[in-house]
Every structure is written in C-alpha cells, then in structure tokens.
Structure 1
Amino acid sequence: MTTTAIAVQGLRKSYGTKTVLDDVDLTVNAGTVTALLGPNGAGKTTTVHILSTLVRPDAGTLTVAGCDVVRDPDGVRAAIGLTGQFSAVDGLLTGEENLLLMARLRHLGAKRSKTRVAELLEQFDLVEAARKPLATYSGGMRRRLDLAMTLVATPSVIFLDEPTTGLDPRSRHTMWDIVRGLVLEGTTVLLTTQHLEEADQLADHIAVLDGGRIVADGTPDELKRLVPGGHIRLRFADAAALDAAAGLLDGSARDGSARDGSARDGSARDNAGLTLTVPSAGGVGALRSVLDRLDAAHLEVDDVSIHTPDLDDVFFALTGTKDQSGGVDTKGTES
C-alpha cells in the first residue's frame, strides 16, 4: 500500500507584491524520488524552505512524514534532512569532526555518535580523508560530506536542493548512486534540479514549476509524451530512394542538404543529406507501418532510428525558458 510522505495543498507564498508560489499542490509517495524542475525564480527553493520549516507559508495545508509543517514544525524537523544548494560544512574542522558535531547537535549520545560517524564515513567513501582538513577536499568530497551530515540522524525524508551544482560528471554520477541507494533503503527524496538528465535519471515523478505554479507533473515518460516532436529518422543509400520515400510518406521532411537540387545522383551528398524524418508518436506500431509502406514500394532503408522528445523538449515547451546559449540557465539562485 502506497503511503504519502509529503502532501501539499493550496500552497501560497508572497514577498511584498511578488507572488512566489501560487496555489501549489504536490504529493510525494514514500520511498520515491520526486524532482521539482523549473527555471531560476520558479519557486523551487522556496518550496523546499517551506517544507523544511525554514520559511512560513502564507496559505495552504502541508504535511511531511505525517506532521503538519505549521502546527508541528518540531515533528517535521525530527523526520527530515536538508542539503542546500551550497555545502554547509565547517572548513576549520576535519570531515570526521563535522560529522561528530552534527551527531552531537542531533543528541545521538557519545557511543551512538561514534558508531554512526564511522558508518557514514564508510558509506560515503571518506574514510581516508576523515581526519584531513577540508581544504584538501575536492568539491565532490565536500558535497558527499554535506549529504552525510544530513543523514546523521537517519531521516525518513530528505530534501536535496540542487545537490550536484558545480560537480564534475564523475562526482555527479557518484551522488546519483548514493541517492539511489538511499531510496532502496526506503528514504523519500524531494529533489530540486536544473540538470534535466539528473531528473530523468533519478526521479520516479517530476513536477514542473514555472512562475510559482505547477504547470505539469507525471513520470518522466508521461511528461515526454506531452510534447510533440517525436519522429522516425530514415537514411537511404541514394537520392533516388530518398526522393521516392519523401513522396510516399506524408509529412516527411528531408535533411537540409537534401533539399538542394544539385547533385541529383547523390554523389556530392553525405549520409546526413540522405536522411528523411517522419513525424511519429513513437512505438513499434508506427515504425512497422512506415517500414511496411517502404517495403511495398521496394525501397530499401540503410538505417532507421526512433527519436522521442526528451526532458529538454519538455522543459522548453512548458516553461519557454532558455539562456542565451540555448540551454538551461543553471547560474545563480532562485526564490
């Protein structure tokens, strides 16, 4: 039976005349990863700060681990862990000392603190660096230590606010593996991110937040199906086959170089110039239909591939936000 770890209904928050969150509803099932996806200023961090009792909501009903965020903030704090956008570690202490400090703050007791710190150092591959100053730690090591500190009291719900920002690809994948391991153990994770691949890799459920509102939510596959742009790409051996297929398949479009009327024999065209894209909702049935029509016309295909919209397409379609380089703006913080 599915249980709800986080429930949000009618969440509103404003700062002066600026509305940051406007009637947000969100449900996170226990033992799953839910990603809040959205551009800078969408309200992702504000949502996390409210759910973790750092900021008071203006309106709405919110529960975390069965505790009301407004009426029982101590109950919420006892059940959660929070890793913010920037590592909250003390640079004057060693990794082990940081963990012991957190254990004391969580009132684990001397014996349990020592045992728990040893467990976390092992789990996060920090044993060799445990007694070294943080000045010797890489960004990935600091981030792992930060998450380890969040887990000292074994919270049932964890908030991760852009946890891999600034990490190299190897460190990012290490963090992903750690998160997957936590979920396998039954931990619930609410993740904010602007790394679309991260949401695709980790999330069981994604909520797209834009302008303080949830504009779409569902599994990654469900969200991808909301966006048009799926197609089948066909590559042919020569221009004659390409031209015949283009006339046969309604709505198909040639590669840009293939529209050039010169070199009709195809000798001057590269492989990319001999490709044809056919709009498709995806699936085996659509592919079989296209190939059957080509086969009936005795047209051979050199190569075929199916392309479906990814989370980049979903992000841009639902939020309409790109940075100047054409990608997601990953700089700065958001309210």
Structure 2
Amino acid sequence: MKKAPPKRILITGAAGFLGSHLSDRFIQEGYQVIGMDNLITGSLRNIEHLFKLPNFEFYQHDVSKFVHIPGHLDYILHFASPASPVDYLRIPIQTLKVGSLGTHNLLGLAKSKKARILVASTSEVYGDPLVSPQAETYWGNVNPVGPRGVYDEAKRFQEAMTMAYHNFHGVETRIVRIFNTFGPRMRLNDGRALPTFIAQALRAEDLTVFGDGQQTRSFCYVDDLVEGIFRLLHSDYAEPVNIGNPDEITITDIAQEIIQLTESPSKLVYSALPVDDPKQRRPDIALAQKLLGWDPKVHRTDGLRKTIDHYQTMDKTVLQETTQIYFKRDA
C-alpha cells in the first residue's frame, strides 16, 4: 500500500513569536508546513533553522491581499497580526486589515480547499474585564474608539467572521483566545511588560512599571500554549476556547521576580498607566480542561529561566541588530 502523503498546513505569521513555535511543532509532527509572513513584525531569524528542511517552505506575503496556495491544504493557522501596543499603535490600519480582510481571505481559502482553519484570537476581546476570571461566555468591556480598539475590535470582528463562515458555509473552524504568553523568540522591544522587563534587567536598567503595578496578568509558557492549540485544532469544537495559565500575578511582582532571576541591580520605576490598559487578566480554562484535557505544565519561574537563558546566550551584537532593524522599519 502507498504511504499517505503528509498533511499540509499553512501557518500565517510564521516568522513571529508564536507562529515560529507552531511551525516547529507541526514540523516535528511530520506535517508539510507552509509558512507565510510579511515580516512587518516577524523575523526570518525565528525560522531560519527550518529553511533547510524538505517539509518547510516560506512565502513572504501580506494576507490582507489575495492568498493563493497551490495544491491541497488540510489545515490553516491564522496567526498573522501585530500583537503588542507598540506595533498596533504604529500600524493601526494594517492591524485592522489583517483582522478583517486577512481573515476573510483565509476563510475563503479554507472554504475552497475544504481545509480546517484555526484563527488566533486574544484575551483582549474581553477588554478591561468587569469579571474575573474571564470565561468564554463573558462578552467583554471594550472601548471600540480607544487607542487599543484597533486590535481589540479587529479580533472581535475576526471571531464574528469566522463563526459566520462556519454557520453559513459549513467551514470547519476553530477559535483560540490566547492569554499572555512568553518564551524564547519574543521581541524584546515589542513594548509588552514581560519582554521589556527582561531586556531592561539584562541591560541593568531600571524596570518601568506602568500605573501602581497592582494590575495583574497571567503568563503562559509558549510550549504549553502550542500544546493547547495543537489539541484544539484536532478537536471537533468550533466556538472560542481560552488557552492560558490561570496563575495570576501583579506586574510589580513579576518585575521583581525577573530582577531576582537575572541577578540584576535594577530597581522599579513607575510611570503613568496607558489608556484602557486592562487592570486584570486571568483565564477561566475549565472549557479547555474538559474539552481538550489540557492544563499548563510549565511553572512560570521555570519558563522565565528558559526565556532568560535564551537571551543571555545570544550574541549581544545580534540583539542590537534586531533593535536597529525594528526601528529602521519604524521610520
């Protein structure tokens, strides 16, 4: 008997933090992986180790424009999107377009290929929540015209469009609501708290805490997140599912933990809280536990050690080059 050909999966945003880790996982699982990224916020450095592999190919392309992939497709993971305030405040129109036009294009591709598609939503659809923890049944508290609205509403629209294609066209869809995630390959200058704290601590600079530091986040290590996404893709559940670590911690406490782990002389300095910055973020993962048999396994401290080790072993000139490239694009 002939051996069945490997499953083919398109991963958009493949050169980003999460997209690159997902590419690794599906390569390891024996899939033929097609990576796609326009490299506005992603970096080829994240996936350069995959280029030599026969079951990986890459297209530099903006999914907000028509997407064509020759041959059959079994799965699509839509992870193309700016994901930090630094990015989506700098490129707000592109952020809205990738969540709307990009999602529309990829849902159309899934329909034509009869492929299953999983879209990456976010805990930001809950806005500045009035309930904690946040369950999938909570509809959110979002300011659509505030500075974060371009990202929050792009993701909320993305979910609505995805469910419309599922209900009207019968497309096999999955929606993951991703809570704060960390690990190697985060861009240290992307403006989010944890990578910023790590970068400042490694440079022996004071750590900048916004507000009074008592706002909370719940950080999930990237390997746990990837496992949850892998299970969700292969489940038969079409509605949104939270994937994150419910271990809640204040911003002040996580900053102090990073100082201790890096043995940095840094101190904390406080600055004004950005507009509409959520005061609390903690996932209710009961659905993922029941549906997927999923729980996060990596303790935050262990994940932080792995992440910090990754950056400590990188050549300092490479880190500097990454910063220069980013700000050159920003000009």
TM class, shorter-chain normalised?
A: under 0.3
Q: Select the structure that is richer in helix.
A: 2
- Which protein is bigger by CA-based radius of gyration? 1
TM-score (norm 1): 0.26
TM-score (norm 2): 0.27
Q: Select the structure that is richer in strand.
A: 1
Structure with the bigger RCO (C-alpha within 8 Å, sep 6+) is 1
